[in-house]
Chains A and B, each alone.
Chain A
Amino acid sequence: MSHAAERPKNIRSETDGPVLNIEHLKVTFATDSGDVKAVDDVSLTVAAAEIVAIVGESGSGKTVTAKTILGLLPETAISSGAVLISGNNVISVTPRHLRQIRGLEVAMVFQEPSTALNPVFTVGWQIAEGLRAHGKVGKKEARARAIEALGKVGIPEPEKRVDYYPHQFSGGQKQRVVIAAALALNPGLIVADEPTTALDVTVQAEILELLRDCRDVYGTSIVLITHNMGVVADLADRVVVMYQGDVVEEADATTLFASPKQDYTKKLLAAVPHLGRNSASAGLTERAHQESEVLVQAKGLVIEYPGRLGTPAFRAVDEVNFSISAGEVFGLVGESGSGKTTIGRAIAGLNKTTGGSLKVLGYEMRTFRERTFRPLRKDIGFVFQDPAASFNPQLSIGECVAEPILIHEKRSPQEVEKRVGELLEAVQLPRIYASRFPHELSGGQRQRASLARALALNPKLLIADEPTSALDVSVQAKVLELFKEIQAEFGFAALFISHDLAVVDILSHWVGVLYKGKMVEQGIGSQVMGNPQDDYTKRLIASLPVPDPAEQAKRRQAHRALLPG
């Protein structure tokens, strides 16, 4: 019945004009420090079977706009203007009417699939919940429709898996279930808020494929909220660029990427790292810095996390061999759970090794004792992923940066202060920032300060664990540039850990690819990226969306060819 019923609806909505029409939307939040305008006069329309991407950096108001479409704003928000979904203004309808619109007319796909699903109910029950909320549905029929929805989104054996709980699915499958729940009532519009941000690149490619199918097969319109220009290039028909609550530019995807009009859009696009451009290892034919001292040497390195009672230990790093020489930037790439962070932490002495050998600055980590390793710590700098959490909120930036100096060197307060000033200037922060507190700095500034702290003692080795993944694209570009300059200036060796191939490519001379704890491939950056040998590396590189619609369409074909089956 479903297919027959869908057709007329789609045809009708195509003739009816836009599915979503936002006119002069303004949203203001009441906060402790006065009102904050999150969205300021935004107008946009979404036609039937169209995918519109709203892009922007954090704080641009894109998520608030998306939440307004479903009437999900918190109590502290006040909105004005009109959000019309098939003629109903979401802002002014009664809560009862709003409930009818949700699910039937518009549904939402959330960023984090593992929190969007309730862990104590089966996925079938959760999909059927939406059906039951809109009219009487028998138990059998609800189940049948849940199975059908799971089948639609490509979950294998839907009859069996309808009774599974969320934890029995992988991250990508969970997101498929969330999409199935959104599709269950066949709404005309799906709002997808960063639907692939929490997923690995290879899984992201599959979810994007699924969203495209939703549009192609069922004629669903999609509002895609994202900060990833690659995803936009892959999926969107039309792009709306937002900046500080305002729509800066609106254009067809191809037009926008080919000839952006506004300065902000141009800057944004220029900042997106592009695989194969600006590679640090371009032109290298053999591994650099081989003649210099070897700082880190791993031979058959095994790191296990003890399992719970009765379960075997989890092997996070499995027989990995690599070495880092002085002055070399080693890029470590892998998806979540591949063991890349574990390796970084083991080198810094934050994790214990289980087997094999890991020598850091000549110190064998298998016999690790904090007391004997401490003198070596001054030669190792560490930059953490989240700049907001890696600073003590009670200490000023100056005090945080001075911490390593105070611990390892006996210097007068004036000398320390002078050194902190120099360090801040080295990372392009004004000296007066020493007296500010971490929360008074922006994310990018904090990450610069974090770099200054890591460099405080002129370390021989710097470990950077996803240093830019919490930053906006334009900020990321600046931090990466700074990192590159400083590395060239100070000449330290670095272990650069990231899930983003393009970012690693910009910085690293030598790249290692990790997959499920195993080093599947390593080599000169440009060669690994340009001519991958291992099957997994090939798949990883092919699934990375490129911020260029035309090129991405070609890559998509190539990626499909790589997929098994």
Chain B
Amino acid sequence: MSRKEGSLFQRLPVISHLGKSVGLQRGMLVTGLVITALFLLTAAFAPLIAPYGFAQHFDSQLAPSGKHLWGTTSGGYDVLSRVVWGTQTAVIVIVVAVILSIFLGVALGLVSGYIGGWLDRILVVIADAIYAFPTLLLAIVMSIAISHGRSSMLGGIFAAAISITVVFIPQYFRVIRAETIRLKAEPFVESAMVVGASSVRIMARHIYKNATRTLPLIFTLNASEAILTLAGLGFLGFGIEPSSAAEWGYDLNKALSDTTAGIWWTGVFPGAAIVLTVLGLTLVGESMNDLNDPRLRGRRRAGRKQPAAPQTPGTNALNAPGTEIAGNGVTV
């Protein structure tokens, strides 16, 4: 069967989306993917790319030159090296934050949505209460509670990651809970109940996989938000010590006084790094969102460049694999 070949690879979230896209949507997705890939590669090969260490001292506020391509900061750090090392910090924080919040958020969402009752009500109230806080304020409170403001590399990264986690758990919780409640009324879950499956089995085997389909999308959108929160924390001085890790927000904070002195390079480069990374991730997330929805998804016009259309495959072709949601094609 030809449709089985490479189906696993082609069904992976981003790959399947790329296959479905055309025109402008494809352009957006590809741009986002390129920027994101660049970001990840920089993080992975930071020790090779960066000319100096992130905590290496030089003369302060040197203009860009052959020795320091993007100049140095008021603290005497090499800007290029700081920006490159900063990607590593950003990636680690995103990964830790998102993994922590996904696990907790999904578990809580499943239990809360499926079991319902007073447990559900309490969890929803807590989630709503967290929503009511400004995210940055909450992150600051968490950061102070965890590490008293600032600390070593690992401690700092975890402090930042956990404070972001607290903000994100309600988001995952809500999405998964809503999906679970919807799926709970689906005949296939009822048929599992009729068969006599236990609640744990229904949640684990029947609901979990169906409820988590939108996660790749939230993941990418949240990743960009995590970077902004991290940068915000650093900018406000609740980030990571400059000697333990490079962090864009901290560098931006220190560049604040330079702007009036006409020293542009200390602020522009970390700032641009934040903007580009967030842009890349958002582009990927948004195009995935559009492509997931058959009504928003652009399609090639029918009837062009079709070598004498092969035997009409009938309605089954509409639900062929590749497509995420069965039956999202055109109803005839």
Q: How far is the CA of A305 from the CA of B317 in the complex (A)?
A: 42
Given contacts A35-B306, A58-B315, A374 and B196 within 8 Å (CB-CB): yes
A76 lies within 8 A of B191 (CB):
no
For residue B27, CB closer than 8 A to chain A, the reply is no
B300 lies within 8 A of A36 (CB):
no
> Within the complex, which residue of B197, B314, B322 is in contact with A407, where a contact is CB–CB below 8 Å?
B197
For residue A28, CB closer than 8 A to chain B, the reply is yes
Given contacts A63-B332, A78-B302, A33 and B313 within 8 Å (CB-CB): yes
Given contacts A61-B332, A374-B196, A350 and B302 within 8 Å (CB-CB): no
Q: Chain B residues near A349: list those with CB within 8 A.
A: 193-194
For residue A323, CB closer than 8 A to chain B, the reply is no
Q: How far is the CA of A38 from the CA of B196 in the complex (A)?
A: 42
B196 lies within 8 A of A59 (CB):
no
Nearest B residue (CB) for A37? B312
For residue A31, CB closer than 8 A to chain B, the reply is yes
For residue A311, CB closer than 8 A to chain B, the reply is no
> Within the complex, which residue of B195, B303, B309, B323 is in contact with A32, where a contact is CB–CB below 8 Å?
B323
A119 to chain B, nearest CB (A): 22
Q: How far is the CA of A374 from the CA of B195 in the complex (A)?
A: 8
For residue A30, CB closer than 8 A to chain B, the reply is yes
B188 lies within 8 A of A390 (CB):
yes
Kindly name the residue among B188, B205, B316 whose own CB sees the greatest number of chain A CB atoms within 10 A.
B188
A244 lies within 8 A of B327 (CB):
no
B295 to chain A, nearest CB (A): 9
Per-residue 0/1 for B281-318: is the Cβ within 8 Å of any A Cβ (1 yes, 0 no)?
00000000000000000011111001001101111111
For residue A384, CB closer than 8 A to chain B, the reply is yes
A33 lies within 8 A of B318 (CB):
yes
Q: Chain A residues near B196: list those with CB within 8 A.
A: 374-375, 377-378, 404, 407-408
Q: Chain A residues near B316: list those with CB within 8 A.
A: 440, 442
Nearest A residue (CB) for B320? A33
For residue A521, CB closer than 8 A to chain B, the reply is no
B120 to chain A, nearest CB (A): 18
For residue A392, CB closer than 8 A to chain B, the reply is yes
Q: Chain A residues near B210: list those with CB within 8 A.
A: 392-394
B11 to chain A, nearest CB (A): 11
Q: How far is the CA of A77 from the CA of B306 in the complex (A)?
A: 15
> Within the complex, which residue of B198, B300, B327 is in contact with A30, where a contact is CB–CB below 8 Å?
B300
For residue B67, CB closer than 8 A to chain A, the reply is no
Given contacts A394-B209, A439-B326, A34 and B317 within 8 Å (CB-CB): yes
Q: Chain B residues near A30: list those with CB within 8 A.
A: 299-303
Chain B binding surface SS class: loop
A311 to chain B, nearest CB (A): 22
A328 to chain B, nearest CB (A): 21
Q: Which of A360-392 contact B (CB under 8 A)?
A: 374-375, 377-378, 380, 382, 384-386, 388-392
Given contacts A377-B194, A386-B187, A403-B192, A35 and B303 within 8 Å (CB-CB): yes
For residue B330, CB closer than 8 A to chain A, the reply is yes
Q: How far is the CA of A275 from the CA of B75 in the complex (A)?
A: 91
Per-residue 0/1 for A20-53: is the Cβ within 8 Å of any B Cβ (1 yes, 0 no)?
0000000011111111111010000000000000
> Within the complex, which residue of B20, B191, B194, B317 is in contact with A36, where a contact is CB–CB below 8 Å?
B317
Q: How far is the CA of A392 from the CA of B326 in the complex (A)?
A: 11
Q: Chain B residues near A453: list those with CB within 8 A.
A: 191, 195
Q: Chain B residues near A166: list those with CB within 8 A.
A: none
Q: Which of B145-196 contact A (CB under 8 A)?
A: 186-188, 190-196
Nearest B residue (CB) for A63? B332
B309 lies within 8 A of A37 (CB):
yes
Q: Chain A residues near B320: list those with CB within 8 A.
A: 32-33
Q: Chain B residues near A307: list those with CB within 8 A.
A: none
B187 lies within 8 A of A385 (CB):
yes
For residue B206, CB closer than 8 A to chain A, the reply is yes
A35 lies within 8 A of B195 (CB):
no
> Within the complex, which residue of A34, A380, A439 is in contact with B319, where a contact is CB–CB below 8 Å?
A439
A64 lies within 8 A of B332 (CB):
yes
Interface size class of B (residues with CB under 8 A): 35 or more
Q: How far is the CA of A391 from the CA of B326 in the complex (A)?
A: 12
Q: How far is the CA of A32 from the CA of B19 in the complex (A)?
A: 9
For residue A219, CB closer than 8 A to chain B, the reply is no
Q: Which of A56-100 contact B (CB under 8 A)?
A: 58-61, 63-64, 74, 76-78
Q: Chain A residues near B195: list those with CB within 8 A.
A: 377, 382, 403-404, 407, 453
For residue B116, CB closer than 8 A to chain A, the reply is no
For residue B201, CB closer than 8 A to chain A, the reply is yes
B312 lies within 8 A of A36 (CB):
yes
Q: Chain A residues near B192: list those with CB within 8 A.
A: 392, 403
For residue A421, CB closer than 8 A to chain B, the reply is no
Q: Chain B residues near A245: list those with CB within 8 A.
A: 312
Q: Chain B residues near A385: list those with CB within 8 A.
A: 187
For residue A348, CB closer than 8 A to chain B, the reply is yes
For residue A438, CB closer than 8 A to chain B, the reply is yes
Q: Chain A residues near B303: list those with CB within 8 A.
A: 28, 30, 35, 78
Q: Chain A residues near B301: list those with CB within 8 A.
A: 30, 76, 78
B332 lies within 8 A of A59 (CB):
yes
Nearest A residue (CB) for B192? A403
A35 lies within 8 A of B327 (CB):
no
Q: Chain B residues near A377: list those with CB within 8 A.
A: 194-196
A77 lies within 8 A of B322 (CB):
no
Nearest B residue (CB) for A450? B191
Q: Chain B residues near A375: list those with CB within 8 A.
A: 196
B330 lies within 8 A of A350 (CB):
no
Given contacts A33-B318, A374-B196, A403-B197, A384 and B190 within 8 Å (CB-CB): yes
Q: Which of B23-76 contact A (CB under 8 A)?
A: none
> Within the complex, which residue of B194, B314, B327 is in contact with A382, where a contact is CB–CB below 8 Å?
B194
> Within the complex, which residue of B194, B312, B314, B315 is in contact with A348, where a contact is CB–CB below 8 Å?
B194
B188 lies within 8 A of A392 (CB):
yes
Q: How far is the CA of A76 from the CA of B160 in the complex (A)?
A: 47
A76 lies within 8 A of B330 (CB):
yes
Q: How far is the CA of A38 from the CA of B332 in the complex (A)?
A: 7
Q: Chain B residues near A438: list those with CB within 8 A.
A: 326
Per-residue 0/1 for A247-282: is the Cβ within 8 Å of any B Cβ (1 yes, 0 no)?
000000000000000000000000000000000000
Other than the given A350-B193, A390-B188, 19 more pairs (CB < 8 A) read A28-B309, A30-B299, A31-B329, A31-B330, A32-B299, A33-B320, A33-B322, A34-B310, A35-B303, A35-B306, A74-B330, A76-B330, A244-B312, A349-B193, A384-B187, A384-B190, A384-B191, A407-B196, A440-B321
Interface residues, chain B, with chain A CB atoms under 8 Å away: 20, 186-188, 190-198, 201, 205-206, 209-210, 299-303, 306, 309-310, 312-323, 326-327, 329-330, 332
**Can you identify 23 A-B contacts, CB atoms within 8 angstroms?**
A30-B300, A32-B299, A33-B313, A33-B322, A33-B323, A35-B303, A58-B332, A60-B332, A63-B332, A244-B312, A348-B194, A377-B194, A390-B188, A392-B188, A393-B326, A394-B209, A395-B206, A407-B196, A407-B197, A439-B327, A440-B319, A440-B321, A442-B315
Interface residues, chain A, with chain B CB atoms under 8 Å away: 28-38, 40, 58-61, 63-64, 74, 76-78, 244-245, 348-350, 374-375, 377-378, 380, 382, 384-386, 388-395, 403-404, 407-408, 437-440, 442, 450, 453
* 7 closest A-B pairs by CB: A377-B196, A439-B326, A30-B302, A390-B187, A33-B320, A394-B209, A382-B194
